Structure 1
Amino acid sequence: MGSPLDSYISLLCVIMILLPSLCYSQDSYVSSRATYYGSPDSFGTPTGACGYKEYGSTINGGEVTGVSKLFKNGTGCGACYLVRCKYSQHCSEEGTKVVVTDHGEGDNTDFILSARAYSKLALQGQAEILFSYGVVDIEYKRISCQYPGYSLVFKVHEHSKFPNYLALIPIYQAGVSEITAVELWQEDCKEWRGMRRAFGAVWDMPNPPEGAINLRFQVSGSNWIQLKSLIPSEWKAGATYNTAIQLD
């Protein structure tokens, strides 16, 4: 029968053997397929299911994507991915970095890229060949979103109607975290009221609190982040309010 020290050494050896593979799995690629959609300017579409409007068509230089299962009922909106195609004679090793702004399904594809993003998959001078394929084999992985010079912003969605209906959408959400809940403080009841995920990245509430609004949100199951008087008492549809927070 081995001693406790022998057992400890054996366990340590197993951990040391598994550690490289565990680290690699967190950064490994997933195989899939991708296609593209056309638009007059090759940017994204302002009618995407995430609700981003014009932001969703031009963010990241228009290198955006619709996704199928990665949409996750809207939780996947705003996520960033590195996508590379697999045809060595036509495809660039760098691939394209895209932001999820829409939901869409193609021919067994996980990604429906804007034309700008799809062209970035190719080596110089090879883009037309990839476009002629229509669908390409790809590999992808989740990456951190980066928006240098921008903090997380809450925008009052254009569907909002002061003072009876408030819809908010977070933009410039950096890092790899997901906003999983948003609440507003109801002063007269002394309680937090949860907003509903209306669709995509849009959170809404009928009859929102009067006066300047305290807001808090939860990121991927972590602690709540509270913002005092973020939304002014006389808010307007289309207005943006900077949190001065940059998520990692």
Structure 2
Amino acid sequence: MCLLGLLVLLFPLLCTSNPKDTFIRSRAAYYGSPDCSRTPEGACGFGEYGRTVNQGNVAGVAGLYRNGSGCGACYQVRCTNQQYCSDDGVNIVATDYGEGDGTDFILSRRAYSKLARPNLAFKLFACSAVDVQYKRISCRYSGNNLMYKVNEHSRYPSYLSILILYAGGQNDITAEDSKQWKPMSREFGAVWDMENPPKGSIHLKLQLSGSAGVNWVQNKNAIPDYWKAGVVYDSTIQLT
């Protein structure tokens, strides 16, 4: 028997309601601790991946978190002080929830330093927060397919919890009901779970919805029967 997990990927209004090159004004701060540690797993559930993905150029987000559907979204962020800030800023991945004083982003120290012109990062670190502009961009993970990690707190065979990694493009992941496919529920952040999954290999079906309409994608590589907690499985899918 095959488990029928349903995940739905929707292009958010943030990406479709604004012109491609429109930046939104906000503010950004940075994590005080060098390793960006907040909670053991972070609000997205990414763990160590949430600190190291994208060469450590990551951020916690507040309003953009959107109850977890914003986990894994990518943004171009640039500060607006022409004297100290670089023109392009930094491309970040949202990997946690983080609130500040009127900020949309709490950047890792590595990402925050890249907002600055060469040798001027110390000027920005002297500020508790800076004015920025940002826009949603496609995530690009060269050489990485979308991956499913079976979380360590999964309990074979009665409880399955998976974490979605390397979700490319401009996609938000949500849950949807279906007559043929059994939906998984969002546990929190980018983590999805299911009680009492059927025995057998596990296929996940993805629905991509955007301006081009709705397309269904199903991975060829199933999560195998006798899956193991802590193991990462390759979906063979590259989202763009």
Q: TM-score surpassing 0.5? A: yes
Could you tell me which residue of structure 2 aligns to residue 213 of structure 1? 202
| Unaligned segments of structure 1, at least 5 residues | 1-21, 185-189
TM-score of the pair, normalised by structure 1: 0.83
SS of the residue 1:58 aligns to: helix
Could you tell me which residue of structure 2 aligns to residue 245 of structure 1? 237
1:25 correspondence with 2:57: no
SS of the residue 2:26 aligns to: strand
Matching residue's letter, 1:208: P
1:121 correspondence with 2:110: no
d(CA) in 2 for partners of 1:169 and 1:86?
35
Q: State the 1:38 CA deviation.
A: 2.4
| Unaligned segments of structure 2, at least 5 residues | 1-15
d(CA) in 2 for partners of 1:42 and 1:197?
24
Deviations 1:119-156 (A, max 9, x none): 10011111111011110000000111101111111111
**How many percent identity over aligned positions?**
55
1:226 correspondence with 2:226: no
Q: State the 1:219 CA deviation.
A: 2.9
Aligned runs of 1:72-111 on 2, under 5 Å? 72-111=66-105
Q: State the 1:183 CA deviation.
A: 8.1
Matching residue's letter, 2:45: G
- Decide whether the 8 Å contact of 1:183 with 1:216 is kept in 2: no
- Decide whether the 8 Å contact of 1:181 with 1:219 is kept in 2: no
d(CA) in 1 for partners of 2:199 and 2:230?
18
- Decide whether the 8 Å contact of 1:213 with 1:228 is kept in 2: no
Q: Which has the higher helix share?
A: 1
Query: CA 1:62–1:183 in 2, change beyond 3 Å: closer, same or farther?
Result: farther
Query: CA 1:25–1:191 in 2, change beyond 3 Å: closer, same or farther?
Result: closer
Aligned runs of 1:16-165 on 2, under 5 Å? 25-41=19-35, 47-165=41-159
SS of the residue 2:49 aligns to: helix
- Decide whether the 8 Å contact of 1:44 with 1:65 is kept in 2: no
SS of the residue 2:85 aligns to: coil
Query: CA 1:181–1:225 in 2, change beyond 3 Å: closer, same or farther?
Result: farther
SS of the residue 1:168 aligns to: strand
Deviations 1:27-80 (A, max 9, x none): 210000000102334689763211011111100011100001111111111110
TM-score of the pair, normalised by structure 2: 0.85
1:166 correspondence with 2:157: no
Query: CA 1:229–1:92 in 2, change beyond 3 Å: closer, same or farther?
Result: closer
Deviations 1:7-39 (A, max 9, x none): xxxxxxxxxxxxxxx998232100000001023
- Decide whether the 8 Å contact of 1:84 with 1:140 is kept in 2: yes
Deviations 1:135-192 (A, max 9, x none): 00000001111011111111111221111110111111111122223789xxxxx942
- After TM superposition, the runs of 4+ consecutive aligned structure 1 residues lying more than 3 A away are 40-46
Query: CA 1:56–1:91 in 2, change beyond 3 Å: closer, same or farther?
Result: same
